[in-house]
Structure 1
Amino acid sequence: MLEENHNYVTVVTVTYGNRVHLLEQVVDSCYVEGVDRIIIVANGVTDDVVTVLDKLVGKSRVPVRLELLEENIGSAGGFSKGLRIFSDEVGEGCVWLLDDDNVPACGSLSELKAFGRKLAGLDGGSECSALLSYRPDRQMYAQAVLEGDESIVIGPVDGFLGFSIFDRLKYSKRHLDLSKFDGNGSVAVAPYGGLFLTCSSLNRVGLPDERFYLYVDDHEWTYRLRKLGKILLVGSSRVEDVEQSWNVHEENWNFVKRLSKAPAFRLYYSTRNRVYFELNFLVNSRVRYYLNVICVSMLFVAYSVLRPRLLTVWFSALKDGFEGNLGVSRMKLGD
């Protein structure tokens, strides 16, 4: 699936709020990297931000297609919209997904193109569905390659929120120096930011599931993509995160403590969507899974004893995840 033309590359990115100061760095780096076109989806931004975005588009040295959405439809809806525009209006070459704070390092796109061309000349080209640039703040992807276990990035079978009392993740057992990682290898899922795929791969996998709204939508979508062929991490192609993501992996039980301090909307959507994803794709034994849910929930209750409002959000998220009630929640979750 990587036999197509890699010379024409379109970047799709989604922004929200007032993050033009970050997006400007992305647009500038795209010019340096030789990107042919940029599609920016603005997720329900204010008129003042639209004015600044128009100025950014006007001075960009790369052709930009700006899509303004009246309301924020989340990362799932935003990237789905951008990918649909790419498929309908461009319909050729490759698409490189970047978050609005993802700045490609010098030469990162050339590395992807070269790797793709090399792979296309081998039998493995037809077995690969996408490439992935390496983001140093997401070291679990490099660790998955070095350990030779692509499932490290997704968590153990029957695990809850990626944790299992029966099977500790390998990346919590070994500490490797990943500062100079430049290897290549297969991973089970990927974030949006850094993903590089052809138009034909996109047409085969379809679009992200907009019902997820926020969080885990990238994993569900790329899990489907992985079923079509390998997702190969290219360590020599680097994308730097200007802002570190809130949910970058923490070892042991620290992730529960972080969840207990998260805003209600973040707690709800990340938990609900992960439960739905795990139940549909990663669970073989519901008994083991429920035991993991109970263990993590007990710890969450202990951490959240001074924030009883979060307990309501937590158990509502579990219930909706179990029952498959996706979409925008009717609960008052705040910003």
Structure 2
Amino acid sequence: MTKSVSAVVVTYNRLELLKEVIESIKSQTVPVSHLIVVDNASNHDTKDYLESLGNSIDYLRLEENLGGAGGFNHGIRYFMEETKDDFVWVMDDDTVTHPDTLEQLLSYADDQPNFSFLASDVRWIDGHRSKMNLPSAVEKQPGDGEVPEDQVEPLELKNASFVSLMIKREIIEKIGLPITDFFIWGDDIEYTERAARVAPGYFVPASKVTHKMASNVGSSLMDDGPNRTPRYFYSYRNRYYYVNQREFLPRLKGMVKLHLELWQMRFAKTERKDEKLAVLKKGLKAGRSFRPDVEFAKNNKDI
């Protein structure tokens, strides 16, 4: 049976990249039924462009920037309440899809129907895996433990990013929506771990996208520049929350790692150490009392 798919793209002031992303989605070998673009209150050039596309997209403009977390919350809610599609396929506005990205996800969905989410193989512009989107497999991998770049067989995942992720409608009905209060960082990890408690999620290496970040680096408070340092408050607050949702041993391991990073920062030789340490401590402290609401959407397919 043919399954229908809504694509959700969340954007904020990256018009030229957004244009490329939209064109790549429109060029899929298997077309999407709905292309939902969530605009986090971008400048008017983005607004004007998206309005010019008319009925070829479902344009959802937010009144304020709610971060990636709020954007995906609204986009997935729209999918649930305004469409009857079977799957939602989510991505950022710098995720350029390959012509068969969706076809490969749907092919695996046919082969393995018992899943909560399917994640594409996310590559940087040079073809190497994107360091911001490294897959985390359930079974430890040989060598350094990371999934090999030449992996060709699907793997069950612990979690995944919102960079080319396909989720079942019935899973969303059970687990709710991404948490808007996360704002940025960790909303995708928390959400896919929530989904994986219901049914397994899988890495689908045949499905590839190009993540057009400015550089292929992971996130590190120790090494990041001054303009990005304040953002790490959300990283540590949100990590504290989602680590606490895990079972005992993974929770213990996650908490030890968080507090180890605190002690590493205390003794590190890094620029602006006092500023970075203050952000880290503030995030961990906020995480102890962070109890965000999990929202649920009506399932339009049941109406």
Q: Residue 288 of structure 2 is aligned with which of 307, 314, 322?
A: 322
5+ unaligned residues in a row in structure 2: which ranges? Answer: 124-128, 294-303
Q: Residue 42 of structure 2 is aligned with which of 35, 45, 56?
A: 45
The answer to whether the 8 Å contact 2:243/2:255 transfers is no
Alignment of 1:85-100 (within 5 A): 85-100=78-93
> Structure 1 residues 285, 94: closer, same or farther in 2, change over 3 A?
closer
**1:27 offset after TM fit, Å?**
1.0
Secondary structure, aligned partner of 1:200: helix
- Please give the alpha-carbon distance, in whole angstroms, between the structure 1 residues aligned to 2:80 and 2:25: 20
Q: Which residue of 2 aligns with 1:129?
A: 116
Q: Which residue of 2 aligns with 1:208?
A: 178
Name the Cα RMSD after superposition: 3.0
The answer to whether the 8 Å contact 1:279/1:322 transfers is no
The answer to whether the 8 Å contact 2:6/2:85 transfers is no
- Please give the alpha-carbon distance, in whole angstroms, between the structure 1 residues aligned to 2:242 and 2:7: 27
Most deviating of 265-274 and 127-136: 127-136
Alignment deviations for residues 46-90 of structure 1 (CA, whole Å, 9 cap, x no partner): 2333113323x24xxx82011111100111111010111111111
**1:318 offset after TM fit, Å?**
1.2
> Structure 1 residues 322, 283: closer, same or farther in 2, change over 3 A?
farther
> Structure 1 residues 118, 314: closer, same or farther in 2, change over 3 A?
closer
Relative to the length of structure 2, the TM-score reads: 0.82
Alignment deviations for residues 79-103 of structure 1 (CA, whole Å, 9 cap, x no partner): 0101111111112222111111111
The answer to whether the 8 Å contact 1:7/1:93 transfers is yes
May I ask how many residue pairs the two structures share in their alignment?
A: 285
Q: Give 1:68's aligned amino acid.
A: R
Secondary structure, aligned partner of 1:257: coil
Q: Residue 22 of structure 2 is aligned with which of 27, 33, 54?
A: 27
Bigger fraction of residues in helix: 1
Q: Percent identity?
A: 25
Q: Give 1:315's aligned amino acid.
A: K
The answer to whether the 8 Å contact 1:41/1:69 transfers is yes
- Please give the alpha-carbon distance, in whole angstroms, between the structure 2 residues aligned to 1:300 and 1:172: 28
Q: Which residue of 1 aligns with 2:241?
A: 276
Q: Which residue of 1 aligns with 2:278?
A: 312
5+ unaligned residues in a row in structure 1: which ranges? Answer: 120-124, 153-169, 250-254, 328-335
The answer to whether the 8 Å contact 2:105/2:118 transfers is yes
Q: Give 1:130's aligned amino acid.
A: F
Secondary structure, aligned partner of 1:243: coil
**1:184 offset after TM fit, Å?**
0.6
Q: Residue 117 of structure 1 is aligned with which of 110, 118, 137?
A: 110
